Amino acid sequence: MKVLLLNGSPHPNGCTFRALSEVEKTLQQEGIETEIFHIGTKAIRGCMGCGMCRKNKLGRCIFGEDAVNVVIKKMKECDGLIVGSPVHYAGASGGITSFLDRMFYSTGGFAYKPGAAIVSCRRAGSTAALEQLNKYFMMNNMPLVPSAYWNMVHGNTPEEVEQDLEGLMVMRTLGRNMAWMLKSIDAGKAHGILTPAAEPKTRTNFIRECAPVKEEAEEKNFAPYFISYNKVNKAYQEED
């Protein structure tokens, strides 16, 4: 069993890496193979919505062999995914957001492979960033691995993260829980418990044709900027 840990920070050995390393160490102690992959500092293009990956069933993005497609290949051999990001403006980093958008859309996600997100911040914005990242898993049939608290560490440098004892405890707990979930899934398969059969997706268009608003040309005592027909009381209007 193997878990891929994505470092979505522009700093390969910064605070996010320190948090991921704590998770990695615990996973290895539990007998799980790991790999930390840094998405790099080169510009990661966002999804341009061409739809060619889905139309041609490529299972990858058409943008060639950039980091996104490298990780897509790696995920074929991995059983779990952990995504790490620094907090930028109360959200995940731009690089990891573009990365995940393209990776999940072009592949359709990695159904039933456990996933988790961790974030690092100096002070605040961490819960908003964590919620953003967790949506990738929750919308793609990926079990979300829990921990003892929010998966976050605080600090402006790796040395400061070392002082966040609670945050590091949460990272270790996440690692143990990921290992437990992977082993539980593996044990279930050995006893004939298979993943649920996928139901065909149904898309609902919430835009409905509305009946045209009836125009009452003869009426002059309506407020023209009101959609509802609330008549204006002329007693309160100033005379010209």
- pLDDT tens, position by position, 165-202: 999 999 999 999 999 999 999 999 999 999 999 898 88
Q: Which residues does residue 58 pair with via DSSP β-bridges, in sequence order?
A: none
**Alpha-carbon distances of 202 from 108, 199, 205, rounded to whole Å:** 15, 9, 10
In the chain, where the domains are located: 2-190
H-helix segments, the chain: 15-29, 52-55, 67-75, 94-107, 126-138, 158-161, 165-190
Q: Which residues does residue 85 pair with via DSSP β-bridges, in sequence order?
A: 119
Does pTM top 0.75 for this prediction? Answer: yes
DSSP letter assigned to residue 34: E
Q: Is the CATH code 2.170.190.11 the one for domain 2-190?
A: no
- pLDDT tens, position by position, 92-150: 999 999 999 999 999 999 999 999 999 999 999 999 999 999 999 999 999 999 999 99
The encoded tokens of residue 209 equal: 């044709």
- Any idea which residue has 């690089």 for tokens? 95
pLDDT given for residue 36 in this prediction: 99
Cα separation, 191 vs 193, whole angstroms: 6
Cα separation, 74 vs 65, whole angstroms: 13
Burial class (CB in 10 A: 0-12, 13-18, 19+), 103: buried
